[in-house]
Amino acid sequence: MVEPVTIAVDVMGGDLGPDVVLDGALQALRADSALHLALVGPADVVEPFAAAHDRTRAVAATEVIAMGEHPAAAVRAKKDSSIVVGCRLVKEGQAQGFFSAGSTGACLAAATLVVGRVKGVKRPALGQVLPAYARPCLLIDVGANADCKPEYLVQFAQMGVVYMESIMGVSAPRVGLLNIGSEDTKGDEFAQKAHQLLAASVPQFAGNCEGGNLMAGDFDVVVCDGFTGNVCLKTIEGTAKTLFKYVKDALMASLPSKLGALLVKGDLSRLKGKLSPETYGGTPLLGVKGAVIVGHGSSNATAVANGIAVAATTVRANVAGVIADTVARAGSATPGGEGEAAASDAR
């Protein structure tokens, strides 16, 4: 029997509005008979839904954190926002995980301030599973830590390995360091230092991954600082968007292409779905207690359902616990792992 689990869901998260989130919640409930949901949002939205559906519970939250707000300030000021209330449910044990398609920064701030870090983890990080060719690849950190020290990347690697093993079922994941050359000595000072630390303390480390290999499926986990990772992730999304526009233009460029377009459009739109950011069910925030999954702002109901399902799997696989064990085991063995690097190492 599947272990019962309760996930708190931010009904106010996402650009498409609460109805879409509730539709996604319903899909998730239908797909998993041991799933319980705590729906967090305005009473007039969540209470009627909870009254009408089994395994759901309404938790009123009177405030909402908007996309543009300063994350940490908003989390401190809006104690009754859906994001803060959802995280509080996890802290108090009323839920084991939290899903939101709202502000990534606010989720990150609330998860860190309210739910708390896993013991031994220096910096929680956002991972994004990329639809690389042949097999998915987790890019971590994609934006939680703009300024990093090289040793943080060792923990990003350890957390990424746990996630890919537990959630994506990858055995013996290959870890790469995002860098500007394949040779060991390549890169700026930061990357050179990170390479040394990874080589010394992460058994799954397989060398540098250049930008060109990120979508090729050569690695299962690729680590980097949050600035580079965020630029990279958005560049991939933007390049895909621009290329699809170019392909669309090409399919309208001549009469044969226009006819051909009618024949290929089914498979091309299936491809677009496969490459959409929702395929892998949101972005895990690794290194905080419980299971916190952040969905894309544009999440539709299926994406919400996938995100909730990933949160449930993350709880059942005890990802936070395995990360705690891994970090504790590695802690004393990591050269420089517990030290503080000089400020000049920050990127």
In whole angstroms, the minimum distance from the beta carbon of 295 to its own copies comes to 17
Interaction between residue 94 and its own copies (CB under 8 A): no
Among 3, 246, 339, 340, binds its own copies (CB under 8 A): 246
Strand residue runs (E) in the chain: 5-10, 35-41, 56-60, 97-100, 125-130, 137-140, 175-178, 205-209, 221-223, 283-286, 291-294
Closest CB to its own copies among residues 57, 149:
149
| Tokens 């802690």, located at residue | 331
Closest CB to its own copies among residues 99, 156:
156
**Residues 108 and 190: beta-carbon distance below 8 Å:** no
Interaction between residue 210 and its own copies (CB under 8 A): yes
Among 189, 298, 329, 338, binds its own copies (CB under 8 A): 189
Closest CB to its own copies among residues 51, 274:
274
b/e per residue, 254-288, with b = 16+ CB within 10 A? Answer: eeeeeeebeeeeeeeeeeeeebbbbebbbbbbbbb
Interaction between residue 188 and its own copies (CB under 8 A): yes
Q: How far apart are the first and last CA of the chain?
A: 47
- Give dist(CA 226, CA 140) in Å, integer: 8
Closest CB to its own copies among residues 53, 227:
227
Interaction between residue 240 and its own copies (CB under 8 A): yes
Instruction: Give percent helix, percent strand, percent coil of the chain, each to the nearest 5.
Output: 50, 15, 35
Question: Taking CB under 8 A as the criterion, which residues in 138-177 touch its own copies?
Answer: 143, 146-147
- Give dist(CA 172, CA 164) in Å, integer: 9
Question: Taking CB under 8 A as the criterion, which residues in 126-145 touch its own copies?
Answer: 132-133, 143
Binding mask 248-267 for its own copies (x = CB under 8 A): -xxx-xx-xx-xxxxxx-xx
Binding site for its own copies (CB under 8 A): 132-133, 143, 146-147, 178-180, 187-191, 210-216, 224-228, 230-243, 245-247, 249-251, 253-254, 256-257, 259-264, 266-268, 270-271, 274-275, 343-344, 346-347
